[in-house]
Amino acid sequence: MDIALYYAPITCALAPYISLTEANAEFEVRPLNFRKQQNKSAEYLKINPKHKVPLLVVDGEALTESTAIQIWIARNFPQANLLPSDPWQELKAISLFSWCSSGIHPYLSRINNTAKVCDVADAADSVRKYALEALTECFEIADDMLAGHDYFFDNFTAPDGHFFWCCRRATQFDIDLSGWKNVAAHFDRMHTRASVKKLLAFEKETQATFAAAA
């Protein structure tokens, strides 16, 4: 099986990288330089008209959307236990992926690029304020979910990686996680995993390669 992950540093494509690494999968990473708009190149748009990452290509077949990609990885590497085995818990894990990608991520995007969602003059601070309020609510909910647990389920599962990315992106916008003790502890715990260490080293390497080519 030929697996390629289209990825860009900083982005939510970090999450499937973690899952593939946890699964011990052999996969090729194809990094895109967003600063050079490689995600909008004719070549990339041909395989992903959404111009986003992550994109997983398996034996030439492309799959978009983090939730679908994560489920594909979990199904194809069952020994990695990337989803809970109990059917109800499995659905709760899928619900968690969806929440990360459609309930949390959009607010992070609004903070990242206020102009993308509102072009009213001087509205940027207001967009940021409301996004931050929504994110605060999300982190409070996640904090309750994580109370008394190291991970969202009995052991590490793929949604932990997706939520880790949400937290990391938040810290890059100077959102202080320390007020949500369980979230902050989860974030620290994730940094101790070999998959996350490998991911962060790979990101650094990729950023250096992009900088050298600039």
Ligand X SMILES: N[C@@H](CCC(=O)N[C@@H](CS)C(=O)NCC(=O)O)C(=O)O
List helix spans (H) across 65-174: 66-76, 87-98, 105-112, 124-146, 158-172
Decide if residue 30 touches ligand X (CB under 6 A).
no
In sign, the C-alpha dihedral spanning 70, 26, 196, 23 is: positive
Indicate the DSSP class of residue 113.
-
Q: What's at 164, amino acid-wise?
A: F
Positions 36 through 95 that interact with ligand X (CB under 6 A): 39, 51-54, 65-66
Q: Which is nearer to ligand X, 85 or 117 (CB)?
A: 117
Number of residues located near ligand X, criterion CB under 6 A: 10
CB closer to ligand X, 19 vs 39: 39
| Contact code string over 93-132 relative to ligand X, x by CB under 6 A | --------x-------------------------------
Amino acid present at 161: G
Separation between Cα atoms, residue 188 and residue 195, nearest integer Å? 14
Q: Cβ of residue 53: shortest distance to ligand X, in angstroms?
A: 4
Which residues lie below 8 Å from residue 43, measured CB to CB, with a gap of 6+? none
Q: Which is nearer to ligand X, 31 or 54 (CB)?
A: 54
CA 214 to centroid of chain Cα atoms: 26
The nearest distance, CB 55 to ligand X, in angstroms, is 8
Contact footprint for ligand X (CB under 6 A): 11-12, 39, 51-54, 65-66, 101
